[in-house]
């Protein structure tokens, strides 16, 4: 009748004594309303760098977003928005962070998020609930001012409202305006990145980026990091990143980690790439498998005709993948000369930090292929013959 189906989800953290019965209370209410309920148990990382509060929030959000594939309705209200804006302003998160929570966020392979009560003040919701005799559970941990959010909610916001009536509405309005400004900055960054893009790659021109003003370049960096899902670095970290990015010798190779990604510079290119938590193995035997794990990624071997390695030269030979050890040489072309791998890697534009992780395929004790460089001419598959094409997939 309403064009949608409603379901509920209760997330059980197990952090509060006596909270085990909350699921039963939710179940009774949902049975009364004829709304299906799912109870999700989560494990909270008590060693989280952001503290227990942040860890519980992340675990809860992951559980809720994985609950369905349509829309997740949350009950955040205007006072929550004001609190969020103030909290992020104190942390100095900038315009993007001060934009607060968005009323709706479309899902990307998961449920979208909808906050239909974001413009409604808490006192109106409380009056509505009392007038209709609604019952609810107060989480006792919400009264603990040791948690930063609770401190703002219980101790700071009431004092601000008493001195400046309507402050919550003003902070929420500031959040909306910052949100609009953030969208405009995102549009500007997207346009700048399109102009900086190197054709046929996910990289950007560094010489062109250096022509941007400092605020504009940092805006582009923020946009890229936000798109990768990483938390925004603080202002000092971003300014230091820009300083190193602008150094004359940065084109010789620069790699700055940010969480699970790194901002990389090499020659006239710069980009973001994932960080691998795994080191490359010393050597791995290959016995014809379709793929072999390598440094958090894999080396895949595709069956080809007239390309890659000649299958007849592989058959019966011991094959292994190794890291670079120094002194390797390779001849890539029939009429060329054998050249050092160091020179070939430089010509191929392989960044310095990748060179020690590259997979090198040895067949019968001879170097046959190098990831990022190519196939040795003596192992090259002639036209019309069966072959194997190795490809290194990083992360």
pLDDT in tens, 61-77: 888 877 766 888 999 99
pLDDT tops 60 at residue 1? no
pLDDT surpassing 90 at residue 394: no
Question: Quick check: is 16 in a domain?
Answer: yes
18 and 167 assigned to the same domain: yes
Same domain, yes or no: 270 and 289: no
CATH code where residue 213 lies: 3.30.465
**2 pLDDT band (50/70/90 cuts)?**
low
Residue 366, SS3 per DSSP: strand
Q: What φ, ψ does residue 13 adopt, rounded to 5°?
A: -85, -35
Average pLDDT over residues 355-383: 95
- Given 225, 254, 274, the domain boundary residue is 274
Q: Are 365 and 268 in contact (CB under 8 A)?
A: no
Task: State the CATH number of the domain containing residue 149.
Answer: 3.40.50.620
Least confident residue range of 23-37, 49-63, 107-121, 250-264: 49-63
Provide the pLDDT confidence category of residue 296 given band limits of 50, 70 and 90: confident
Note whether residue 269 is domain-resident: yes
Whether 387 is in a domain gets the answer yes
User: What is the arithmetic mean of pLDDT over 134-144?
Assistant: 85
Last residue within a domain, chosen from 211, 242, 274: 274
Q: Kindly state the average pLDDT of the residues 264-268.
A: 96
**55/102 same-domain check:** yes
- 19 and 156 share one domain: yes
- The pTM of the full predicted model, rounded to 2 decimals, is 0.74
Contacts of residue 2, Cβ cutoff 8 Å, sequence gap at least 6: none
Are both 135 and 47 inside the same structural domain? yes
Q: Of 135-139, 157-161, 308-312, 375-379, give the lowest mean pLDDT range.
A: 135-139
> What total of structural domains would you count in the chain?
3
Any idea which of 6-20, 43-57, 222-236, 344-358 has the lowest mean pLDDT? 43-57
Quick check: 118 pLDDT over 70? yes
The pLDDT of residue 69:
67
Cβ-count burial 333-361 (b if 16+ within 10 Å, e if not): eeeeeeeebeebbeeeebbeebbebbbbb
Domain span at residue 268 reads 198-274
| Distance between CA atoms of residues 27 and 37, nearest Å | 6
Mean pLDDT across the chain: 90
Identify the band that residue 19 occupies on the pLDDT scale cut at 50, 70 and 90.
confident
**Count of positions (residues) in the chain:** 395
> Does the residue 181 lie in any domain?
no
In a domain, 192, yes or no: no
The reply to whether 127 falls in a domain is yes
**What pLDDT score was predicted for residue 165?**
94
- Among 171, 206, 227, the domain-final residue is 171
Judge if 117 and 51 occupy the same domain.
yes
**Three-state DSSP string of 271-320:** EEEECCCCCCCCEEEECCCCEEEECCEEEEEEEEECCCEEHHHHCCCCEE
My answer on whether 158 and 18 are in the same domain is yes
- Percentage with pLDDT > 90 across the chain: 63
Answer yes or no: is 183 within a domain.
no
According to the per-residue pLDDT averaged within each range, which of 5-9, 136-140, 224-228, 310-314 is highest? 310-314
Claim to verify: residue 138 and residue 206 sit in the same structural domain: no
CA 210 to chain centre: 25
**Does residue 182 lie within any of the structural domains?**
no
For residues 325 and 219, membership in a common domain is answered with no
Do residues 147 and 202 share a domain? no
Whether residue 226 is found in the same domain as residue 361: no
CB within 8 A of 126, min separation 6: which ones?
none
Q: Are 28 and 85 part of one and the same domain?
A: yes
pLDDT band at 368 (very low <50, low <70, confident <90, very high): very high
């Amino acid at each position: 009748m309403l064009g949608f189906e409603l379901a509920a989800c209760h997330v059980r953290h197990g952090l509060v004594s006596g909270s085990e019965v909350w699921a039963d209370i939710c179940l009774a209410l949902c049975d009364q309303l004829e709304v299906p309920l799912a109870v999700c148990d989560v494990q909270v990382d008590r060693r989280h760098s952001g503290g227990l509060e942040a860890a519980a929030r992340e675990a809860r959000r992951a559980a809720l977003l994985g609950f369905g594939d349509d829309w997740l309705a949350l009950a955040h209200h205007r006072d929550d928005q004001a609190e969020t804006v103030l909290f992020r302003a104190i942390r100095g998160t900038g315009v993007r962070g001060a934009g607060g929570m968005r009323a709706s966020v479309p899902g990307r392979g998961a449920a979208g998020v909808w906050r239909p009560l974001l413009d409604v003040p808490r006192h109106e919701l409380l009056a509505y609930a009392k007038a209709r005799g609604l019952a609810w559970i107060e989480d006792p941990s919400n009264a603990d001012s040791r948690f930063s959010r609770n401190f703002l909610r219980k101790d700071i916001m009431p004092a601000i409202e008493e001195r400046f009536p309507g402050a919550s509405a003003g902070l929420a309005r500031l959040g909306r305006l910052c949100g609009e400004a953030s969208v405009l900055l995102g549009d500007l960054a997207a346009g700048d990145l399109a102009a900086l893009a190197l054709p046929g790659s996910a990289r950007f021109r560094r010489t062109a980026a250096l022509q941007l003003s400092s605020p504009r370049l940092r805006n582009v960096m923020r946009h890229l990091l936000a798109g990768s899902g990483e938390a925004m670095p603080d202002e000092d970290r971003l300014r230091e990143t820009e300083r190193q990015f602008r150094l004359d010798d940065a084109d010789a190779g620069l790699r700055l980690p940010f969480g699970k990604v790194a901002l990389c510079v090499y020659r006239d290119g710069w980009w973001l790439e994932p960080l691998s938590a795994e080191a490359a193995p010393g050597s791995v035997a290959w016995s014809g498998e379709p793929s072999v794990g390598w440094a958090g990624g894999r080396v895949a071997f595709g069956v080809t005709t007239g390309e890659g390695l000649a299958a007849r030269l592989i058959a019966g030979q011991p094959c292994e993948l190794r890291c670079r050890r120094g002194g390797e040489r390779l001849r890539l072309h029939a009429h060329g000369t054998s050249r050092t791998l160091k020179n070939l890697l430089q010509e191929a534009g392989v960044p310095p930090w990748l060179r020690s992780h590259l997979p090198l395929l040895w067949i019968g004790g001879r170097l046959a292929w190098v990831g990022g460089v190519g196939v040795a001419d003596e192992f090259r598959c002639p036209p019309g013959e069966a072959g194997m094409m190795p490809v290194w997939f990083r992360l």
